[in-house]
């Protein structure tokens, strides 16, 4: 067993890489939920993003188009959710669940012809620095551009929600749509935008899996990560920074437990497998004890249907 300092650097690097889809999807969903919309279709949007990205990569041979296309596909499928819940006023929970089932089925159908095609290598940045600097090299360098974006996203989201006027509008809509509407804010439009943004981020999260992390298409390849992202948002009490912490803990313990098995720790494997879920919940509950802050961050009208009387 090797636990020297450079090995730990490599370990942290791979933990970061594994948390990217969670960070992206959870950050997107966070904005959607802060506007008062509960979209349980994260898994469905991710898997649609995964197949769209992969299919576009195969067809156009252009990774940029693939990435942008995956985000667009997330936008399109979340538009269905938006139309149903915002314009036809359907129940958020039921519609979101339907979106996930629909997404998994549709992606399997679209993906039939893309099974068994090897993916393309995604360019990584600063790969020479990764090798030359011990410890910090594998942590800071040699990642894909999507990873850097994912790690900036929670901070940008935090800034957006707390410091910008638009962020205030989103929060107002999520807390009290009636008052926001009386202030002249177009609640439905704001919620539409937040839903579509969430869709784009989930699409990107899916594309990260099918283009970068495990470059291939196989049915159901998101394997429940959408649900974990959803849970992260709640346990992080709708705070972007805590979402980042939660995603890192989850990814970190998932990878650490695999290493512990490989090293040969005599701990029951079932316990190790459950550890990521347990630890993530415990840590997030502990760091979010402040009930005043929870109240501040929780979108009061989450999941409630809003319509404007004419």
Partner 1 sequence: MYKNFFRYLISAIFLLGFSVNSNADFKVGFVYVGPTGDHGWTFQHHEGRNAVEAAGIKTTFVESVPEGADAERVIRQLAQSGHDLIFTTSFGYMDPTNKVAKDFPNVKFEHATGYKREHSNVSTYSARFYEGRTLLGHIAGKMTKTNTIGYIASFPIPEVIRGINAMTLAAQKVNPNIKTKIVWVFTWYDPGKEAEAAQALIDQGADVIMQHTDSTAPVQTAEKAGVWSFGQASDMQRFAPKSILTSIIDDWAPYYVERAIAARDGTWNQQDTWHGLKEGMVAMGPYNSAMGADLVKEVEQLQKDLASGKVHSFTGPIYDQKGNILVAEGKVADDGMLAGMSVYVKGVEGDIPK
Residue 17 CA to chain centroid, in angstroms? 13
Q: Taking CB under 8 A as the rule, does residue 4 contact partner 1?
A: no
First to last CA, the chain: 70
Tokens of 286: 């502990």
Q: At 171, phi and psi to the nearest 5?
A: -65, -40
Q: Which of 200, 221, 284, 302 binds partner 1 (CB under 8 A)?
A: 221
Which of 259, 298 has the CB closer to partner 1?
259
**Residue span binding partner 1 (CB under 8 A) among the ranges 164-172, 197-205, 220-228, 280-288:** 220-228
Contact 174, 34 (CB under 8 A): yes
Q: Taking CB under 8 A as the rule, does residue 220 contact partner 1?
A: yes
Q: Which of 1, 5, 88, 286 binds partner 1 (CB under 8 A)?
A: 1
d(CA 55, CA 113): 9
Residue 8 CA to chain centroid, in angstroms? 26
CB atoms inside a 10 Å sphere around CB 83 = 14
Q: How many CA atoms lie within 13 A of 92 on its CB side?
A: 18
Q: Which pairs with CB-CB distance under 8 Å and at least 24 residues apart come from 114-117?
A: 114/51, 114/54, 114/55, 114/58, 114/217, 115/217, 115/218, 115/219, 117/58, 117/216, 117/217
Three-point CA angle 214, 158, 235, nearest 5°: 65
Q: Which of 65, 129, 133, 218 binds partner 1 (CB under 8 A)?
A: 218
Which of 144, 157 has the CB closer to partner 1?
144
**Residue span binding partner 1 (CB under 8 A) among the ranges 127-135, 161-169, 238-246, 260-268:** 260-268
Q: Taking CB under 8 A as the rule, does residue 58 contact partner 1?
A: no
Q: Which of 219, 234, 275, 277 binds partner 1 (CB under 8 A)?
A: 219
Task: Compute the least distance from the CB of residue 256 to partner 1, in Å.
Answer: 9
Which of 14, 298 has the CB closer to partner 1?
14
Q: Which of 93, 166, 258, 285 binds partner 1 (CB under 8 A)?
A: 258
Number of chain positions touching partner 1 (CB under 8 A): 40
Question: Within 105-134, which residues bind partner 1 (CB under 8 A)?
Answer: 108, 111-112, 115-116, 118-119
Task: Compute the least distance from the CB of residue 148 to partner 1, in Å.
Answer: 20
Task: Compute the least distance from the CB of residue 218 to partner 1, in Å.
Answer: 6
Contact 153, 21 (CB under 8 A): no
d(CA 264, CA 90): 51
Among 52, 25, 76, 100, smallest CA distance to 196 is for 76
Q: Taking CB under 8 A as the rule, does residue 79 contact partner 1?
A: no
Which of 111, 240 has the CB closer to partner 1?
111
CB atoms inside a 10 Å sphere around CB 61 = 10
Tokens of 232: 């992260």
Contact 38, 201 (CB under 8 A): no
Which residues contact partner 1 by CB under 8 A? 1-2, 7, 10-11, 14, 18, 21, 108, 111-112, 115-116, 118-119, 209, 213-216, 218-221, 223-225, 254-255, 258-259, 261-264, 266, 268-270, 273
């Amino acid at each position: 067993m090797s636990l020297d300092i450079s090995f730990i650097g490599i370990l942290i690097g791979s933990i970061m890489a594994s948390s990217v889809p969670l960070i992206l999807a959870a950050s997107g969903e966070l904005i959607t939920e802060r506007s008062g919309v509960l979209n349980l279709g994260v898994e469905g949007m991710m898997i649609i993003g995964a197949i769209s990205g992969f299919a576009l990569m195969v067809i156009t041979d252009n990774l940029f188009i693939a990435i942008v296309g995956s985000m667009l596909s997330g936008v399109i499928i979340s538009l269905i959710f938006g139309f149903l819940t915002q314009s036809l006023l359907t129940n958020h929970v039921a519609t979101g669940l339907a979106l996930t089932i629909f997404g998994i089925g549709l992606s399997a159908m679209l993906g039939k012809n893309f099974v068994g095609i090897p993916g393309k290598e995604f360019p990584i940045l600063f790969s020479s620095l990764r090798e030359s600097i011990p410890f910090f090299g594998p942590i800071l360098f040699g990642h894909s551009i999507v990873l850097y974006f994912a790690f900036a996203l929670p901070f940008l989201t935090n800034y957006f929600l707390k410091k910008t006027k638009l962020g205030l509008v989103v929060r107002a809509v999520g807390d009290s749509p009636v008052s926001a509407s009386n202030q002249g804010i177009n609640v439905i439009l704001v919620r539409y935008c937040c839903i579509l943004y969430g869709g784009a981020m989930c699409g990107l999260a899916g594309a990260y899996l099918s283009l970068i992390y495990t470059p291939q298409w196989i049915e159901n390849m998101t394997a429940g990560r959408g649900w974990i992202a959803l849970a992260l948002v709640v346990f992080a009490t709708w705070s972007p920074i805590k979402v980042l912490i939660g995603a890192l803990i989850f990814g970190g313990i998932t990878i650490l437990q695999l290493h512990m098995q490989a090293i040969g720790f005599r701990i029951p494997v079932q316990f190790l497998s459950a550890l990521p879920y347990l630890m993530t919940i415990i840590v997030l509950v502990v760091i979010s004890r402040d009930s005043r802050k929870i109240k501040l961050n929780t979108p009061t009208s989450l999941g409630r249907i809003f319509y404007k009387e004419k």
